[in-house]
Amino acid sequence: MRDSGGVDDIDTKRGRNLQTLHPSIYPLYAPLSIFVNLKTHWYLLSNMVKRNLNQRYNKALLGYVWTLLEPALLAGVYYILFIIIADYKDQNYPMLILLGVIGWSLFAKVLNGTVASLYNNSGMIKQSGFPLEIYPAADCLTNLAISTISIFTVIPFMIQLNIHPSSTLWMLPVALLMLVLTAVGIGLMFSSMNIIFPDITHAFRFITRAGFFVSPIMWTYEILISRVGENSPYIDIVMLNPVVVPLTMMRHSIQGTMPDIDFGYVVYAALFPIVCYIVGSIIFVKSSRQVVKRL
């Protein structure tokens, strides 16, 4: 007959071993320690990103071509739908929608991937002593690489619309960074809890799907202003959405114009990702080392 006390001792020892492999970090050092760990293990991180990309495309006949082909086909659909069928007067509209879709897809995939990163990599976590932040970072960089390549599909639109690259392109990497930091920060807040309650993964998938319709993807900030007016209280509510300013910046960076957005909204959008990352990293390093024994 098996001794239940012996089983408890084994579980306790297993939990201690996992905590030894993944030592605690002082929470206030969390934002910096994560960057230091990622820099120290850059070779491992880059190989995990390559593995993720290979797993995604190695069995596909066209392989990595899909990183460009998928958004290109999507761009073609938007052009046929809005320009040819709907006879939409704004020739820029399909390109603006495509940029919105690319930006939102990056945000949603990084957010969902970060939330599920520890749970999805439980097998590797139990067998290795890699820093736990390696796993969400690998997923984040994988999606960032795919989205960055996807942006090149706007080049045919730029040629057709006679849009030339300008100095406003600096907003594009800044906007992508804002989206990624926000998604990673929120994801880190919940990734440890997701080990105990895996339903969180499903909840965030629903949130990101619903968020598609309340974010400026099929519409733009300028369309919103023209419909409700600059002084509408609805504007303040919409601008609480942290992706509004980054997605607007992405569009204007390609168009070669500067967005006409109230300075207060810009400050909020700039600070939100930083605060999210700081709070998320503190929660992550404080909780992940405690719940890792539950894997």
User: What pLDDT, in 10s, does the model give residues 237-282?
Assistant: 999 999 999 999 999 999 999 999 999 999 999 999 999 999 999 9
pLDDT band at 94 (very low <50, low <70, confident <90, very high): confident
The H or E element spanning position 32 is helix 30-40
> For residue 173, is pLDDT > 70?
yes
pLDDT given for residue 8 in this prediction:
45
Distance CA 141, CA 133 (A): 12
pTM above threshold 0.75: yes
Reference 31, options 208, 188, 226; nearest CA is 188
> For residue 10, is pLDDT > 70?
no
Residues 6 or more apart from 280 whose CB is under 8 A from it? 184, 185, 186, 187, 188, 189
> For residue 185, is pLDDT > 80?
yes
> For residue 9, is pLDDT > 70?
no
pLDDT band at 24 (very low <50, low <70, confident <90, very high): low
> For residue 233, is pLDDT > 80?
yes
pLDDT given for residue 7 in this prediction:
41
Report the Cα 213 to chain-centroid distance in Å: 17
